[in-house]
Structure 1
């Protein structure tokens, strides 16, 4: 997936999508793993744990709770994953996409140390 196509998918009103799009446009590193699929329910479990851990440790996140709720609703649907890392490395974003990367379903960001 090229940078511009990914930036278009990130053109959504959520805080994480906006920040990931800015990071991507400013030259942030990105990857999309469209060839590996993970069931949404497994991702929901993983990211629910991350939500608890980040809240407990006071780590700043963007749209993590909304992402977990979206993943819960998707059940057995197979998802592809992507990642954007801000150029200065302060934020990392995880993207949850439909196979074929035609649609972004959720995006979350976490502040890195």
Structure 2
């Protein structure tokens, strides 16, 4: 199985990295999450990493932009928008992140 395409392979942007939150099915040596997963501990979620977030485009209550703002305020490093049957929330979150400047932005993963 070939590794999945990363977001930067399909839509380059300095603010985003990409990958698949379904890491258990991947050959991690060829995947961007290979560097992240060894750092994950029981305390990582939700303060450093949250790979299961829903927005109003699924069964969540927050707009995608507000989800990103909240992650930025909490200094979360890795997030994934996992809305059911929709990529609209992910796209809006990605667009919002692309408009942000400076460092300290969370990595937005997609799978």
TM-score, with normalisation over the residues of structure 2? 0.32
Comparing both structures, which one devotes a greater share of its residues to strand? 1
Instruction: Please state which structure has a larger fraction of its residues in helix.
Output: 1
